[in-house]
């Protein structure tokens, strides 16, 4: 469920017509619904209300400060994977004790930043990282809570570029080696082992890979406790999928995901941490774009819009699908025609959808790319020297620009020409 619906023949975000935002802010522009963000976050808390837990929003999905503040004010923790994301979470008012630092390549500078600024836990991904963190923490006179990320070698049956739990992936420590690594962690100064971390991938639409991975985590937890470790937290990752196609079967609900957690690890008495990102923010956002031209080609027609692959990279990078809908609601039974929806960037890969069935559209008409709230704006760039796409947050009948579109002058001012040129 989201809060982007047709009213009076026009697509609205909550109580604001999208055409009004397009007129005042320009296009392309991302538009987020505060009501949808609030509802989706609440569903995950409800799914875990049977136990002590913390729902940590995966900042990599959408790192806008307003989005982070909204979720943080609701009680969300934050899962960060870089020093920049950590700084954003803190700037949004999230305290360090609600921030989990993940990521396979943490630098010493990022580790120091987390120790100095406060951190709930660091999820360790390798033995060299563990030893470096120990040396740094001990030298600072600090003790850092840590969980070790284990790789359970479970196929999440998702896109190969977002699978993270198979043995060939770069993430985590092989679960067969975990007891040895935990033994070393317990002996190192500056570290305090508190839990086990696992994350098997993103956009999962089947709960069985979770069940398989969490069963292995439960077995490992019992073994670690038998070895004398105090395991009080289980960080079970995120990755629950969303319905990018409205005509497909919906992925599992958060409440069903929570039940799998309960059935697999609920008897261990651990605090549960999860790190949803896409499922909270994905359907809470649309990318609003305006048609530049309808171009007739040889055997196909092209709907050229002012959004491009630099604004929404997922279709070019992953072959991902986003439903594309006109902002003006088509009449019931309106004739549809196949068109390739493309952007203006000088790449053949700048194609959003081939043979999209759309009503007749022409220059000036508005379209919305649905389910664009996750991995949209955060992956955007200024390729072809196109200004970075702005973002807007809607709440009820109010909206505000939460990241402005830079001017050409602002873009140029970031470069400098050496005196010797």
Q: What is the pLDDT of residues 306-350, one digit of tens each?
A: 999 999 999 999 999 999 999 999 988 889 999 999 999 999 899
Find tokens 């923010």 and name the residue.
281
Q: What is the dihedral of CA 155, 157, 158, 162, to 10 degrees?
A: 10
CA distances from 29 to 180, 206, 326, 369, 404 (A): 50, 32, 15, 10, 10
Pair 235, 101: CB distance under 8 Å:
no
State what percent of residues in the chain have pLDDT above 70. Answer: 95
Q: What is the DSSP letter of 308?
A: -
Spatial distance between the Cα atoms of 102 and 210, rounded to a whole number of angstroms: 19
Token reading at 177: 């080696």
Q: Is the dihedral of CA 241, 246, 248, 250 positive or negative?
A: positive
What pLDDT does residue 411 have? 97
Spatial distance between the Cα atoms of 321 and 248, rounded to a whole number of angstroms: 12
Pair 241, 205: CB distance under 8 Å:
yes
The answer to which of 84-88, 204-208, 232-236, 376-380 has the lowest mean pLDDT is 204-208
What pLDDT does residue 162 have? 44
Beta bridge partner(s), residue 6: 11
What pLDDT does residue 299 have? 80
Residue-wise pLDDT for 101-155, tens only, equals 999 999 999 999 999 999 999 999 999 999 999 999 999 999 999 999 999 988 6
Task: Give the number of other CB atoms < 10 A from CB of residue 73.
Answer: 12
Token reading at 278: 């896409």
Binding residue ranges for substrate: 278, 314, 318, 347, 375
Complete domains list, the chain, with CATH: 4-31+282-413 (2.40.37.10), 103-274 (3.20.20.10)
Beta bridge partner(s), residue 146: 122, 193
Spatial distance between the Cα atoms of 358 and 330, rounded to a whole number of angstroms: 9
Find tokens 């004739």 and name the residue.
335
Q: Which residues are catalytic?
A: 346
- For the cut 90, the answer to whether the pLDDT of residue 167 exceeds it is no
pTM of the model: 0.94
- For the cut 60, the answer to whether the pLDDT of residue 276 exceeds it is yes
Largest CA distance in the chain: 71
State what percent of residues in the chain have pLDDT above 90. Answer: 88
Pair 210, 262: CB distance under 8 Å:
no
At 288 the three-state DSSP class reads strand
- For the cut 90, the answer to whether the pLDDT of residue 1 exceeds it is no
Spatial distance between the Cα atoms of 130 and 99, rounded to a whole number of angstroms: 18
At 377 the three-state DSSP class reads helix
What pLDDT does residue 332 have? 85
Residue-wise pLDDT for 299-309, tens only, equals 889 999 999 99
Q: What's the average model confidence in pLDDT over 25-52?
A: 98
Binding residue ranges for pyridoxal 5'-phosphate: 239, 275-278, 375
What pLDDT does residue 247 have? 65
The answer to which of 203-207, 234-238, 276-280 has the lowest mean pLDDT is 203-207
What pLDDT does residue 168 have? 54
- For the cut 70, the answer to whether the pLDDT of residue 258 exceeds it is yes
- For the cut 70, the answer to whether the pLDDT of residue 166 exceeds it is no
Q: Tell me how many degrees the CA angle 9-13-15 measures, rounded to the nearest 5.
A: 80
Backbone angles phi, psi at 99, to 5 degrees: -115, 130
- For the cut 50, the answer to whether the pLDDT of residue 399 exceeds it is yes
Give the closest residue to 125 by CA, choosing from 164, 183, 70. Answer: 164
Spatial distance between the Cα atoms of 115 and 169, rounded to a whole number of angstroms: 28
What Rg do the C-alpha atoms of the chain give, in angstroms? Answer: 23
């Amino acid at each position: 469920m989201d809060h982007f619906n047709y009213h009076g023949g026009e697509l609205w975000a909550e109580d604001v017509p999208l055409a009004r935002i397009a007129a005042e802010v320009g296009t392309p522009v991302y538009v987020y619904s505060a009501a949808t963000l609030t509802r989706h976050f609440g569903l995950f808390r409800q799914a875990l209300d049977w136990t002590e837990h913390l729902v940590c929003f995966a900042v990599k999905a959408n790192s806008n400060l307003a989005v982070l503040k909204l979720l943080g004010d609701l009680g969300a923790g934050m899962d960060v994977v870089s020093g920049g994301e950590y700084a954003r979470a803190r700037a949004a008012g999230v305290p360090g004790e609600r921030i989990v630092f993940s990521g396979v390549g943490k630098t010493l500078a990022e580790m120091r930043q987390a120790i100095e600024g406060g951190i709930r836990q660091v999820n360790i991904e390798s033995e060299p990282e563990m030893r470096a963190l120990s040396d740094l923490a001990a030298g600072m006179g600090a003790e850092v809570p840590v969980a070790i990320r284990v790789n359970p070698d479970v196929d999440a049956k998702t896109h190969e570029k977002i699978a993270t739990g198979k043995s060939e992936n770069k993430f985590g420590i092989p679960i067969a080696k975990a007891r040895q690594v935990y033994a070393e962690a317990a002996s190192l100064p500056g570290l305090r082992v508190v839990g086990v971390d696992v994350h098997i991938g993103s956009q999962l639409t089947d709960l069985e890979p979770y069940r398989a991975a969490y069963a292995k985590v439960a077995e490992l937890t019992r073994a670690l406790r038998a070895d004398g470790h105090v395991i009080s937290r289980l960080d079970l990752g995120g990755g629950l999928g969303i319905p990018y196609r409205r005509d497909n079967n919906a992925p599992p609900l958060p409440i069903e995901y929570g039940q799998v957690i309960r059935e697999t690890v609920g008897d261990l008495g651990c605090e549960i941490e999860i790190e949803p990102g896409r499922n909270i923010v994905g359907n809470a956002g649309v990318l609003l774009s305006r048609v530049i031209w309808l171009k007739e080609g040889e055997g196909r027609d092209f709907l050229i819009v002012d959004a491009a692959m630099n604004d929404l990279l997922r279709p070019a990078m992953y072959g991902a699908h986003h439903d594309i809908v006109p902002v003006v609601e088509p009449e019931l039974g309106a004739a549809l025609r196949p068109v390739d929806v493309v952007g203006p960037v000088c790449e053949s890969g700048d194609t959003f959808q081939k043979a999209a069935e759309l009503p007749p559209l022409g220059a000036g008409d508005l379209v919305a790319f649905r389910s664009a709230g996750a991995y949209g704006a955060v992956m955007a760039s200024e390729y072809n020297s196109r200004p970075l796409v702005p973002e807007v947050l809607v709440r009820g009948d109010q909206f505000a620009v939460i990241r402005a579109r830079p001017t050409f002058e602002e873009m140029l001012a970031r470069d400098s020409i050496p005196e010797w040129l």
